[in-house]
Amino acid sequence: VSIEPSGSTDQRGTPFENVKVLKMDPKFSDRLYLVNNAPGKQSGKGSQSVWNNPVGGAMEWDENSNVFIIDTKGEIRWYFDNDKLMNWDNIYNRGIMMGFHQNKDGALTWGFGQRYVKYDILGREIFNRKL
């Protein structure tokens, strides 16, 4: 698992050191959980523009997302490589990913920047639309 360089000297080499499960009810032991961990502003490359000058708009959330699935032991089972979707040279294809929803067909729908998308868990695009 890697993380895109932010331009900050405070950035760590991995998006998360470890996941520690504090409490787990035995009846939930077979569950998997999707975690969307936003590392925060990346002043070195994100926030280079704003959508509604001088402030506001979706470009205020111009950040990476670290999305992964863990089990109840804290082991990472799946990591979303958002580099396949993000394009830091195009304001329509960048921004924090949020609002993840698993649909009845198992695919995930979410929004980021100026887009809303639907992909299956293997990364196959179902749709990728501009707002």
The DSSP code sequence of the chain is ------S-TT--SSS-S--------GGGTT-EEEEEE-----TTTSSS--SSTTS-SGGGG----EEEEEETTS-EEEE--GGGT--TT-GGG-S-EEEEEE-TTS-EEEEETTEEEEE-TT--EEEEEE-
What would the mean pLDDT of 11-39 be, rounded to a whole number? Answer: 78
At 46-104, the pLDDT tens digits run 556 666 666 655 566 677 788 889 899 888 898 888 888 888 788 788 888 889 999 99
Give the domain extent around 69. 26-130
For residue 2, pLDDT beyond 60: no
pLDDT value, residue 129: 95
Q: How many domains does the chain have?
A: 1
